[in-house]
Amino acid sequence: MDKVTPCLWFDGNAEEAANFYVSLLPDSRVVEVVRSPSDYPAGSAGDVILVDFTLAGRKYSGLNGGPEFKFTEAVSFVIHCDDQAEVDRLWDALTAGGGKAIQCGWLKDRFGLSWQIVPERMFDMLASPDRDAAKRAFDAMTTMVKLDLAELERAYAD
């Protein structure tokens, strides 16, 4: 058991969100769905109140807490991608059905959760000891919505 588990507050759609998220990445699954034993402020007896799931090997809980709290960009999940195909696949899946592209690899999914879909190579470029090349890659990144690894590589190499 993990000592600390992030709990994500949903407005009645925690199970739907968990099922969607676990479909995206390997080593992911819904672990348990807990139903309320009685009526509560945001729902009724028998409603799903908690969904425990593993996403890429890490445990999370989704709580159907009601409409009081919304996700903000102050918390986001970064997915480190191996290549552009993985960036494209995850970007398309997470922006589908009402998600929203933001900027610099950031997006908000249809549940309101923020994600950063980033090719792992970008982190290498930004941390490079060649600070001029790192700057070129960074400057290119700031003009993008979905990150384009080939463009980042070109900017880094120029």
Per-residue model confidence as pLDDT tens for the chain (158 residues):
679 999 999 999 999 999 999 999 999 999 999 999 999 887 899 999 999 999 999 999 999 999 999 999 999 999 999 999 999 999 999 999 999 999 999 999 999 999 999 999 999 999 999 999 999 999 999 999 999 999 999 999 99
> Which phi and psi (to 5°) does residue 38 adopt?
-155, 175
Query: Is the CATH number 3.10.180.10 carried by domain 1-69?
Result: yes
CATH of domain 71-158: 3.10.180.10
Helix (H, G, I), strand (E, B) or coil at 8: strand
Give which of 93, 71, 69 is closest to 81, Cα–Cα. Answer: 93
Spell out a b/e string for 63-101, using b for 16 or more CB atoms within 10 Å of the CB, else e: bbbeeeeebeeeeebebebeebebbeebbebbbeeebee
Domains 1-69 and 71-158 equal at CATH topology level: yes
Q: Tell me the domain boundaries of the chain.
A: 1-69, 71-158
d(CA 41, CA 67): 11
